Every structure is written in C-alpha cells, then in structure tokens.
Structure 1
Amino acid sequence: MMMIADGEADRLIKLEEVKRRVGLGKSMIYRLIQEGTFPSPYKVSPGASRWSNREVIAWIDDVKDGFEGKRRKI
C-alpha cells in the first residue's frame, strides 16, 4: 500500500466503489482517464485494477465546485 505523510496507508478501491463515490458509470470514468482528467487505476493483477482512495477523494474535491457551478448556470 502507498504511504502518506501522516503514516496512514492509502486504500486501493474497486471500480464499483469508485462509481458509487463519483456518481459516474464505467464508460465515463474510463473516458475521463483517457482525457487525463481522472486518476488512472493501478493494475494489481492481469485482471484486476484498483484506484487510490486518496486520489479519488482529491479528484472529487477538485471538480466538485466546477460541477456545481455548471449545474447552477444552466
């Protein structure tokens, strides 16, 4: 596991948890990864990918205000 500054280990989470947290489907998540705007998964085995919990939280924090702003302008 990845270590962070305060000594806690970062959890690696499955796609299902990522989808639930960010409210996006698999296709949109992978499109954003291709565009370079969403954290890439880590390949933990040939058939398994996991995302950094901290990277997903940081992405949510970075885009939340932007998404809310777009929704309000419509």
Structure 2
Amino acid sequence: MTGGDQPKLAKGEGRGAAASVQSHERILRLSAVLDQTGLTRSTLYRKIQAGTFPRQLRIAERCTGWRQSAIIEWLKDPMSYEDDSS
C-alpha cells in the first residue's frame, strides 16, 4: 500500500480495533465474582480493604467490575495474594 491507500475495514472496525482485540479482557460483575470465589460480599470488601483481593475497576459512574485475569490470579493462591496496584 502506498500513499493514501487504506485497508478495507469490516463494519464495526475502527482504528483501535486491532488493539482492542489484543487487549480484550472480560470484566466480571460482583455476582460473578462472588460465585467464582465463594466469598460473601462483606468478606470480599474486607479483603479489598486489607489488600488481599484485587481492587475493582470503575466501568461507569455507578458501575464497577473486576478483571477476570485478576480473579483467576487470586484463585490460584488466595492465602498469599497481595494487591500491588495501590
């Protein structure tokens, strides 16, 4: 391709489409996290405060979720997990 030639993009693809596919990660809501971990809501938030559970992400003004990879990492060894994102 030379000059102004641009590759044809499928409908719905934009400039960041390739990057978003590579960095695509599922965001889990509270109910899914509680189901996967077996924790109660109060225990989960207590662990977040103590730094022994991954912090949630703000998805929207009144909506949060957790990266699935962070939950999987916690499930591998919940006793020695330390949140290093603070």
- TM over 0.5, yes or no? yes
Say which of 66, 70, 78 aligns to 1:51.
66
1:9-40 Cα distance to aligned partner (Å, 9 max, x none): 21001000000000011111000000000000
2 CA distance for matches of 1:54 and 1:26?
20
CA shift at 1:46, angstroms? Answer: 1.6
| Unpaired stretches in structure 1, ≥5 consecutive residues | 67-74
1 CA distance for matches of 2:38 and 2:23?
26
2 CA distance for matches of 1:46 and 1:29?
21
Aligned to 1:40: 55
Write the mapping of 1:1-74 to structure 2, written as runs, cut at 5 A: 7=22, 9-63=24-78, 66=79
TM-score if structure 2 supplies the norm length?
0.63
CA RMSD in angstroms comes to 1.5
Task: Give the ranges of 4+ consecutive aligned residues of structure 1 lying more than 4 Å apart after TM superposition.
Answer: none
Q: Percent identity between the aligned chains?
A: 31
Q: How many residues align?
A: 59
Q: Which has the higher helix share?
A: 1
Q: Name the amino acid aligned to 1:17.
A: A
